Chain A
């Protein structure tokens, strides 16, 4: 069974700082990787996806995937207080099942 682990559990960064979130997965046949963000009182919303090894940049957000090391990360540049949320890594394997990590709680302090 796929295991998806996120670190750190919680992270505090100053406004304008860089936040780095990590995710490891166990199934080498994993195909699709997503980051979701959940603000308090809302449902999770997809932030970005990455399917190929390397970096993918969308605005202030950069995802990095290294399938060989079973690792995907999310980096948030110039963090804003509105980025404060619970971030989930989601991994889809070859059986089309989606597995979520336990989340990283990000707090951006003004």
Chain B
């Protein structure tokens, strides 16, 4: 059974719209992350959370907003979508931030038309 569930697996959006990517982890981990993968940047760090608190934000744009409603949830809201946002977004978790192995979900592939 997958331990990190990302939904949806694929999504298509129009420019200017808003989407939410869902991530739930069932590993009992304290840290969660979002990464973005595109042809331009193979694995780009976006955010890290520890115990539901934002620890790192490497995303320049405020259009990307992580949301943690529970310890094992870290959703990603993207507003005013642009074609450049097209990428696969990976959620990951680890026991503690920056330590130990990262476990990745299967990704959500976003296409912005």
Contacts and interface: CB of A to CB of B under 8 A. Distances in A.
B18 interface: no
A46 B102 contact: yes
Interface stretch (A12-20, A52-60, A61-69, A84-92): A84-92
Contact of B98 (A49, A88, A96, A102): A96
Range of interface residues on B (Cβ < 8 Å): 20 to 34
Contact of A90 (B4, B96, B102): B102
Contacts, number: 54
B59 interface: no
A45 B104 contact: yes
Interface of B: 4, 33, 35, 41-43, 45, 48, 56, 90, 92, 96-107
Interface of A: 32, 34, 36, 42-46, 49, 86, 88, 90, 92-93, 95-100, 102-103
